[in-house]
Amino acid sequence: MNPHNVHFETPNPPPDFPRPLAVCEETRATPAYRYEGRTRSDKSHIIFQYTLEGAGIFEDSRGRHSLPPDTGFLCESRNPETAYYYPPGTSAPWTFLWLAFTGTAAQLMTRNLVARHGGVYRLPADGGIIRRLRALRTGGVSVQTIGPAAGAALVVELLCALAETAEAQAPYTQAERLVRAVREGAEQPPDRIPSVAELAAGLKVSREHLTRTFRRATGFAPHHYLQRRQMLRACEELADPTLTVKELAFRLGFDTVGNFSRAFRRHTGMTPSRFRHSGSRPFLM
């Protein structure tokens, strides 16, 4: 398939503004298609290239990456550590979409993105930015005038989409994983909310480490946080006049009414019975 290019003209762009240069959709099927940053002599710019069908290869300082459908790479064209090419030893066509852009601000954003998340990103083909880029190109080679603000917005939209998908797919740090586990535990049915010891065992960390990590991130000890969630549910359940305090205590997993009442008073400042008769709204201390 012949390339379908759109070259952008941006009249009087502000200095350093992100500026799109061209968008293209094309198909390659021979090893002759190969670009290496260390050998390029064209004017430096930034490339985002996204696979629509087939697969390509991208190399950077982090290694060699396959580019299946819905996957793209981001790099500076003359970065000597990068290369992208049609996979040798294959015959399936590689169809891809690319956007070239420039500007000091775009360069800084690109460098920050790549330093944090690497050069390879996954985006849905029906997502907003990919759909928009494909809509921009037309058959044959053409020139399209784009205003400085619209051009900058297009580039920033792409970079923000890449940042968003990278952050959503990034692995949790251990601290984030522990905090998330406690919060998910608090959302279990009232009688199945795990203890801190059970959570720590499941996470293969000590109870002390889990407590320190959670308190540092939230300001609460995990035991206090889990019990606060239980008491909030207790406040909601107490609105049902047919449910006795004893039944509620056992529903929430307490072994005695006394233990439940003490926990409830510690978190709300009143006993369950007084709370029910006062008609108060839930307020946890």
Domain boundary among 148, 169, 190: 169
CB 50 within 8 A of CB 161: no
Are 163 and 60 in the same domain? yes
Query: What is the Cα–Cα distance from 260 to 263, expressed in whole angstroms?
Result: 5
Look at residue 284 and tell me if it is in a domain: no
Residue type, 172: Y
- Give me the CATH number covering residue 193: 1.10.10.60
The total domain count for the chain is 2
137 plus 274 within the same structural domain? no
Q: Are residues 61 and 147 in the same domain?
A: yes
Q: What is the pLDDT of residue 285?
A: 46
**What is the value of pTM for the model shown?**
0.62
Considering the domain architecture, whether residues 213 and 141 belong to the same structural domain is answered as: no
> What pLDDT score does 139 carry?
52
- In which residue ranges of the chain is pLDDT below 50? 285
Residues 6 or more apart whose CB falls under 8 angstroms from that of 82 comprise 36, 37, 58, 59, 60, 75, 76, 119
56-60 and 83-85: which strand pairing?
antiparallel
The answer to whether residue 16 is domain-embedded is: yes
How many CA atoms within 13 Å lie on the side-chain side of 83?
Answer: 13
Closest CA to 147 of 138, 139, 155: 155
Q: Which domain holds residue 244?
A: 174-278
Q: Name the domain boundary from 127, 146, 169.
A: 169
pLDDT in tens, 118-140: 999 999 988 789 999 998 875 55
- Tell me, yes or no, whether 248 and 191 share the same domain: yes
Q: Are residues 117 and 53 in the same domain?
A: yes
CATH code of residue 161:
2.60.120
Name the phi and psi angles at 154, rounded to 5.
Answer: -65, -45
Bridge partners of 99?
Answer: 23, 48
